[in-house]
Amino acid sequence: MSDVGLLLGVFSFLLLAGVSCANSMLLASLVSIWVTGFPVTMTADNMLGAINSFTLLAVPFFILAGVIMNRAGLTARLIDVSRAFVGHFHGGTAQVNVVASMFFSGISGSASADAAAIGSMLIPTMKREGYDPGFAAGVTASAATMGPIIPPSIVMVIYGSITNLSIGALFLAGILPGILIGVTLMLMVAYMSRRRGYPRAPRVGWTDRLRAIGAALPAVLAPVIILGGMFSGVATATEAGVIACVYGLFVGFFVYRDLRLADMPSLLADAVEMTAVPMYILATSSVFGFMLTAHGLGFMIGDFLSGITQDPLTFLLIIVALLTVVGIFLDGIAALLIVVPVFAPLVDVYHVDPLQFALIVIMTIMIGTVTPPVGMQLYIAAAIARIPIGRVVAWPFCWAMTGAVVILCFVPQLATFLPRLLLP
């Protein structure tokens, strides 16, 4: 068996045996290191080096900001604004779910935080209104994928740290594709809701809409402050995360007054727990990715693809197909950290814009977080809806989002227009 075959074989065996994705990567890497004679000390060096980064400090800060703003009442007010504008569409509360997720994506940067925050408020409401629990969970899980696509984005921070792409450029590149995902989900919700006869609310007048916007103005301003600080050059991504935390605390304590000092210990504990998972995955996947590179997987895949096509569009569609399969079996961040070092060098070979490629990779991998058996958002939404994951209606929304990814393959300007317009 080849070295790369041994590595992937052990990894696959451990996954099938029920070992977590992160531990499977670490154990498979240790077996490969022992068999091939690499120094075992490189494991600790790679794990520490992967997370010892100033750029990655943005990850815990954005997670903390999302937790603070959810506890501070910003999420509830964003839902009120969404309901005022789209509650009268077919499948009203499901449409509110999608739009509220778009708003909250501009605050948290995390799909899991989005699914938990929006889902805990809207899934019980949808069930009371007669929506099928599986449909409610599917909408929530799918809409949460916009969290890492619409800036700020924890996944984009990690992607930028791997490839040295500008995080600010990645943030700008994610705005239009993220909105496209939202539109495709809203169209699918409308189609399915009409067929299933789901309710919609009466149209709200502009007086009530303006009142809802006024009440939610501090929440709506949050992404403006976060992204404005970055794009104006005042703050880096890490510093923007700190600004988001401070702003959330200010709003929670002094504007909405939904936060108390007694809330801080549990709030910080939640943020630490949510940070530990992606950082551990990041550390273990760095070792796994190093071993894949050392065994020459990147060259093998490059030779394989070059033998199939020299066309950039065909290359991108093949990447989408491959990542769709990978996303079914791997956690989102783990998939990102494994495939990006392998595929990113091919961008220059096929003359693909790196921002377009980055968004295609991120969007496709996030769709994988809604598919069984390891889709994180799927488990969160199913737990809130109190149903087994087998009952979650996910695939129609996955196909809708995949359609958005295919559109991006054909229209790279969706990812490149804003960075070229706003960045020097």
Inter-residue contact 115 to 145 (CB < 8 Å): no
Contact 377, 141 (CB under 8 A): yes
The pLDDT of residue 100 is above 80:
yes
Dist CA 308 CA 318 (whole Å): 10
- Average pLDDT rounded to a whole number, residues 342-369: 91
Amino acid at 293: T
Q: Does 206 or 53 have the greater pLDDT score?
A: 206
pLDDT bin (cut points 50, 70, 90) of residue 235 is confident
Q: What is the mean pLDDT of the chain?
A: 88
> Over 80: is that where the pLDDT of 193 sits?
yes
Tens of pLDDT, residue by residue over 238-294, are: 888 888 899 989 999 998 888 999 999 998 998 888 888 888 888 888 888 888 878
Going by pLDDT thresholds of 50, 70 and 90, the confidence category of residue 170 is very high
The Cα–Cα gap between 189 and 170 comes to: 28
**pLDDT > 90 fraction of the chain, expressed in percent and rounded:** 39
Q: Is the pLDDT of residue 186 over 90?
A: yes
| Residue whose entry in the numeric block shows the structure tokens 């988001």 | 244
Residue 288, pLDDT score: 86
The phi-psi region of residue 388 (left if phi > 0; otherwise alpha if psi is between -120 and 50; otherwise beta) is: beta
* Sequence-distant (≥ 6) Cβ neighbours of residue 313 within 8 angstroms: 409, 410
- What tokens appear for 304 in the block? 């394989």
Q: How far apart are CA 177 and CA 55, in angstroms?
A: 24
pLDDT of residue 418: 94
pLDDT for res 198 = 92
Rounded Cα distance, 126 and 252, in Å? 27
Query: Percent of the chain beyond pLDDT 70?
Result: 99
Instruction: Over range 391-415, report the average pLDDT.
Output: 95
Q: What is the pLDDT of residue 281?
A: 84
For residues 182 and 163, give the distance between their C-alpha atoms in angstroms, rounded to a whole number.
27
> Which residue in the block uniquely carries the two structure tokens 């992607």?
159
Amino acid residing at 59: V
My answer on whether omega of the bond before 133 falls inside 30° of 0, hence cis, is no
> What would the 3-class secondary structure string for the chain be?
CCHHHHHHHHHHHHHHCCCCHHHHHHHHHHHHHHHHCCCCHHHHHHHHHHHCCCHHHHHHHHHHHHHHHHHCCHHHHHHHHHHHHHCCCCCHHHHHHHHHHHHHHHHHCCHHHHHHHHHHHHHHHHHHCCCCHHHHHHHHHHHHCCCCCCCCCHHHHHHHHHHCCCHHHHHHHHHHHHHHHHHHHHHHHHHHHHHHCCCCCCCCCHHHHHHHHHHHHHHHHHHHHHHHHHHCCCCCHHHHHHHHHHHHHHHHHHHCCCCCHHHHHHHHHHHHHHHHHHHHHHHHHHHHHHHHHHCCHHHHHHHHHHHHCCCHHHHHHHHHHHHHHHHHHCCHHHHHHHHHHHHCCHHHHHCCCHHHHHHHHHHHHHHHCCCCCCCHHHHHHHHHHCCCHHHCCCHHHHHHHHHHHHHHHHCCHHHHHHHHHHCC
Tens of pLDDT, residue by residue over 371-381, are: 877 677 888 89
Q: How many CB atoms lie within 10 A of CB 224?
A: 10
- Identity (one letter) of the amino acid at 327? G
Distance, in Å, from the CA atom of 373 to the CA atom of 161, rounded to the nearest integer, reads: 28
Phi-psi region of 197 (alpha: psi -120 to 50; beta: other; left: phi over 0): left
- Token reading at 344: 């990113």
pLDDT of residue 114: 86
Report the pLDDT value the prediction gives residue 137, as an integer from 0 to 100.
94
**Band of the pLDDT at 110, cuts 50, 70, 90?**
confident
- Residue 416 pLDDT grade (very low, low, confident, very high; cuts 50, 70, 90): very high
Q: Give the confidence band of 106 by pLDDT, cuts at 50, 70, 90.
A: confident
Phi/psi zone of residue 407: left (φ > 0), alpha (ψ -120 to 50 degrees), beta? alpha
What is the per-residue pLDDT across 2-47, written as a single tens digit (0 to 9) for each? Answer: 778 888 889 889 888 888 878 888 999 999 998 888 888 888 888 8
| Cα–Cα separations (whole angstroms), residue 349 to 315, 407, 411 | 10, 22, 19
What band does 411 get if pLDDT is binned at 50, 70 and 90? very high
pLDDT class for 352, splitting at 50, 70, 90?
very high
pLDDT at 1 > cutoff 60: no
Structure-token pair, residue 11: 């990894």
Measured from the Cβ of residue 329, the count of other Cβ atoms closer than 10 Å reads 16
Closest CA to 26 of 285, 357, 235, 203: 285
